[in-house]
Structure 1
Amino acid sequence: MRRVREASTSFAVLTTLALLLVPAAGHAQAGGQSGMGASASSASASSDGTSRRSERGKGRGKGTKRLEVAPYIEIDQIVTAELSPGDDLLTYTQIAAGVDASVQGRNNGASASIRYQRQFGWGRKAGDGDAVSGVARGYATVTRGLTLEAGALASQVDVENGGSALVAGPLSGDGTSTIYSVYAGPSLATRAGDLDVSANYRAGFTRVEQSDGARDAQTAAAADVFDKSVTQSADAQAGFAPGTVLPVGLGVAGSFNREDISNLDQRTQDMQVRAMVTVPVSRTVRLVGSVGYEDVEISSRDVLLDENGLPVIGSDGRYVTDKSAPRELAYDVSGLTWDVAVMWRPSRRTSLSAHFGRRYGSTSFGGTLAYAPSDRHQFNVTVYDNISGFGGQLGRALEQLPDDFEVVRDPITGELRGCVASLEGGNCLSGVLGTVRSSTFRARGVSASYSLELGRLSAGLGAGYDRRRYIAAAGTILAAANGVIDENWWLAAYVGGSLGPDAGWSANLYANWISSNDPFTGDLAGYGASAGYYKLLAPRLRGTVALGLDGVSYGAPSIDDLWTASALAGLRYTF
């Protein structure tokens, strides 16, 4: 009953956020927004929410509003056959309720897909269970230059040894953990004469609800899994565009990022100030140089020990923090930073920014590429380098999702499949969800996505690489994680279309290859493919049939691979 109450509460929270986002965007159609001058935004800050929002608002520009809200109920019959290592045949009845919503206007937009489902197993081995999943993302123009942005995510994952995570499969059962994340905050972009000014603030909360099935049967200890964190970030910048007061642009900026993680009271704090010069090279190319100062600290407390000198494990299976212990520094870097960037924008359909410099006490580089050869094609690449915990990394990825999307779900489990269908910006979360270790880390990686719409056909492909090097204080129980490297190669694809006015089809696949140099963590890979067909049987009533294949391959020869095949037949009524 506890899981049912928690899932129901989470569903209510996500649904409330979705409903708040959609009307808010619809009520603010009269507002406008002004963008920052190039002198006040270097390529190294191109992922800033203010800059992206300014471009999105201007890109619509048709003054029309599209509002779609589709609540539904669903009942499905599912059969799952274990192909390896066993041969169990399990049957479930699944009841679900959800809502898909979207509103898009001149300067406002929001999309959401929220779903709660309950499974009833037939027989002794087919257990009951429930789950909430969904994603909501949007912004509303409060007044000219001032916007409010918010987003939320709920997703199920299978947590393996060492905190590696895969998309929840049809036989996940009690081993499934649920990830919840939410963020919100305002963004401001305005001008004071020739001076461009922008600022934003974001606050977020992330939690991983670890299942009882993921605990050690003898010690009741959970795997090294992130619990929860609160994140805060703020950015402010001001500057003159080239050609206003000088032939070159001048600007100053500052940023603050902090994440407080409940696991052993970890804290990541990053403060930076910088001055920037923008040099126009041509009509389409600008060079940006910046120099500044940063102060980055990572700290934690140690575990509470019992009278025998053994770590105390709480009722949730995680280590209990010794609040009386002093805070131990794991990472302390401060000093000069510099950055050189190039920004290229030959047309409104193509933009590139790339930067190279020194941050976190070492070489740092990154950039973004966006290419849309037509209104029906979109290609995006992001290269990143940052320091955070799991909550901060997930919040960044959630903020970078587009505000106009359709969720890609597994037709069997109803779970999110890592990417959303959209012809806007970066649209995948797969790289973030590959590991859920509790320790902070430095993440470097690349993510690429391609989306297209051709007549009745829509398709998308996402792929990427995420590398995390964990940081922990010496002399504490976290010390074993210091220097551990997790690598996650991932792939996600979807395709679908209509077959006339009352029928359609869809297919998707995913793959994750996760490796670690942690001797207690084995390499593993997860694979999945599914296909579905639907047909309207009556107005608002849809029938669906679907097939799916899922597998987990373990690097350790002592662990058998797990493969399952599933089939579904169901009915959905949309109100």
Structure 2
Amino acid sequence: MTAARPVLIASALALAAWPSALAAQVQGMAAPPSTSAPGSAAPGVAPAPAGGTPSRVRIAPYIEVGQLLSADLNGGDVVTFTSLAAGVNAQASTPRAQAQLSYRYEHRFGWNDRYADDDIHSGLARGAYRLTRDLTLDGGALATRTRSDIRGAAPGVLVGDTGNISQLYSAYIGPVLTTRAGPVQIGANYRLGYTRVDTPGFGGIAPGQPRLDYFSDSWNQLATVSANVRPGAVLPVGLSLNASYERDDAGQLAQRYEGWFVRGDVLKPISPYVALTAGVGYERIESSQRDAAVDAAGRPLVDSRGRFVTAPTGPRRIAYRTDGVYYDAGVIWRPDRRTSVEGHVGERYGSLSVTGVARYQASRNVVMQVAVYDGIQTFGRQLRDGLSNLPTNFVETRDAFGQQFNGCVFSTSGTTPGGCLNDALQSVQTSLYRARGLDAMVSITRGRSTLGLGLGYTNRRLFAPQNAPGIVVYGTEDESWYAQIFFGHALGPNSGLNVNGFVNYYASKLAGAEDVVSLGSTASYYRNFGRLGTTASVGLYHFTVGDLSSALSAQALIAARYQF
């Protein structure tokens, strides 16, 4: 099971033993045991407003024209672009539905023969629709641009030369069931997900380094079922039983992942605010792929897009397999309705495994959250889980320079800080990997101002068939650190200021790879005159790839938008 933030079945089982106000705070957060990046059985799904709450629906399509300038502060080169864009911002809040959509298509016309015209799709959609009292339909979609090769360039401000960048699309949908049978709470969900990545441009990799296989697309499915009994309902302890099945089929080299899981948990409250929990499970995970076709010299063949050609008659080779029992024990601490801390330590995947989550809501408008995760992942599955963990109401910005929606997405609800996609999108990875790391987020809203901060660390240990043609990642690791800050302030009903800042560090243990550092900041001022709006933005960006390459650039934009 790839739901991951360890707000486990144990969390729900302890509710009856604790104050009702605290129980209400975490109602509905039961999930099967965690194995991957932050998420829950239906993460990010905001409950529909209570009956009688006024319905709010907003749909705002627009067209925009702008002029961009990018200056290379190292070499003195200055290039300009004309931008034409069309998009829509929409939001719905009704007794049955919570949803938000922000999508933008942009075409940039280069005024310099060195830079070709460019098409950019950027958007995020998250929503939940309550079909019945017990059944909810949950879904999300993402369009963004992201780094391809962790060894290469890191152009965080996407203007001008944007090597090592791929256009990415991802979506998922599925039902979530929560019901009861006497004292037993029953949960089930199913998710169908799809991810596709375009072939990247080349940039920032040392000559002579081996090429990586390029991710193309993948379909993934997840089915889970759980049964929980809270403490005191039948026994003095709480009990839970969970089972799940997951599959991921990727186009590159016909890669296949399958996982079967079953687990039981026991929870024992030892005070009004502390509970102990322990669980044991059985899992079987297998990942396999075919070899690349080779030429007479034994070199792997690639197609017109640079991806390996799969040998159609070759046998399937095992990239990773585990089959056995795993276990962990933990503690849950909720001293008041604002604070929740949970941690688990056990043995899994043949070594120590640590997961946990801490959440503190200082006030109605200040919320902080930290999550520690550990799990066997594929790129498509981890991105799906990250997407499902994003809020159904999020901050929209007019940042034309940055990589929209491929870092942290901050919530506007005040009940959750949002979610980050950096763990999956540090680079596009075709191989199976073990993902371990930490994500932390803070969201603060004060009057007309919103402040969001996200930071984290992720480590990936890569798995692949040994000695397979063209595969160079066997037994290697990569890692990244990131930090992102957002500040938005409404100067009045028709104007405002947005500021974004970020810093990233990437490291790979592939032979010859150099560490990569990128940092930058953008600021935008907008002013609306009825349906007509104007935006002025500036940006500054720097990145280095070891001693191989370095870039320092400044950007400026003036744009006019007409909203229908």
Under a length normalisation based on structure 1, what TM-score does the superposition of the two structures give? 0.87
Match in the other structure for 1:30: none
Question: Where does structure 2 lack aligned partners over 5 or more consecutive residues?
Answer: 1-25
Q: Report the CA distance between 1:270 and its aligned residue.
A: 1.9
In structure 2, the partner of 1:542 is 533
Report the Cα distance in structure 2 between the residues aligned to 1:406 and 1:474, rounded to whole angstroms: 45
Higher helix share: 1
Partner of 1:66: 56
**Separation in 1 of the partners of 2:535 and 2:256?**
47
2:542/2:551 contact within 8 Å kept? yes
The alignment-based identity, stated in percent, is 38
C-alpha separation between the residues in 2 aligned to 1:346 and 1:59? 28
1:384 paired with 2:373, answer yes
In 2, Cα distance between the equivalents of 1:362 and 1:430? 25
For the pair 1:317 / 2:309, whether they are aligned, the reply is no
* Contact preservation (8 Å) 2:461, 2:475: yes
Q: From the superposition, tell whether residues 218 and 461 of structure 1 become closer, same or farther in structure 2 (CA, over 3 Å).
A: closer
Given residue 63 of structure 2, which amino acid in structure 1 is its aligned partner? I
Q: Partner of 2:78 in structure 1? A: 89
* Count of aligned residue pairs for this structure pair: 535
| Equivalent position amino acid for 2:225 in 1 | A
TM-score (norm 2): 0.88
The RMSD of aligned alpha carbons is: 2.8
The CA distance in 2 between the partners of 1:226 and 1:426, in whole Å, is 27
Whole-Å Cα distance in 2 between the matches of residues 291 and 176 of structure 1? 42
Give the drift of 1:348.
3.7
Q: Distance in 2 between matches of 1:287 and 1:45?
A: 22
Say if 1:216 and 1:368 are closer, same or farther in 2 by CA, change over 3 A: closer
Q: How does 1:177-326 map to 2 (within 5 A)?
A: 177-211=166-200, 213=202, 223-326=212-315
Name 1:492's counterpart in structure 2: 484
Whether the 8 Å CA contact 1:290–1:340 is kept in 2: the answer is: yes
CA drift of 1:252 comes to: 1.1
Distance 1:57 1:46 in 2: 22
Residues 36, 382 of structure 2: 8 Å contact kept: no
Q: Distance in 1 between matches of 2:81 and 2:511?
A: 38
Q: Given the superposition, is the C-alpha separation of residues 355 and 59 from structure 1 closer, same or farther in structure 2, using an over 3 Å criterion?
A: farther
1:447–1:175 Cα change, 3 Å: closer
Q: Does 1:472 align with 2:461?
A: no
**Compared CA separation, residues 390 and 60, structure 1 to 2 (3 A):** farther
Amino acid aligned to 2:260: M
Unaligned runs of 5+ in 1: 1-33
Q: Report the secondary structure of 1:167's partner residue.
A: coil
- Is 2:288–2:316's contact at 8 Å kept on the other side of the alignment? yes
Residues 416-435 of structure 1 mapped to structure 2, 5 A cutoff: 416=405, 418-422=407-411, 423=414, 424-435=416-427
Could you tell me whether the CA contact under 8 Å between 1:532 and 1:545 is conserved in 2? yes
Q: CA deviation at 1:231?
A: 1.3
Give 2:522's aligned residue. Answer: 530
Higher relative contact order (CA 8 A, sep 6+): 2
How far residue 349 of structure 1 moved from its aligned partner, in angstroms, is 2.9
Contact map agreement 1:43 1:288 (CA 8 A) in 2: no
Q: Kindly indicate whether the alpha-carbon contact (under 8 Å) linking 2:449 and 2:490 is maintained by their aligned counterparts in 1.
A: yes
Cα pair distance change 1:532/1:216, threshold 3 Å: closer
Q: Which amino acid aligns with 1:541?
A: L
- Would you say 1:452 and 2:441 are equivalent positions? no
- Matched AA of 1:188: L
Deviation larger for 410-419 or 229-238: 410-419
Deviation at 1:138, TM superposition (A): 1.2
| Preserved CA contact (<8 Å) 1:162 1:224 | no
**Local SS of the residue matching 1:149:** strand
Report if aligned partners of 2:213, 2:308 keep a CA contact under 8 Å in 1.
Answer: no
Alignment partner of 1:508 out of 500, 503, 510: 500
Q: Measure how far apart 1:528 and its partner are.
A: 1.4
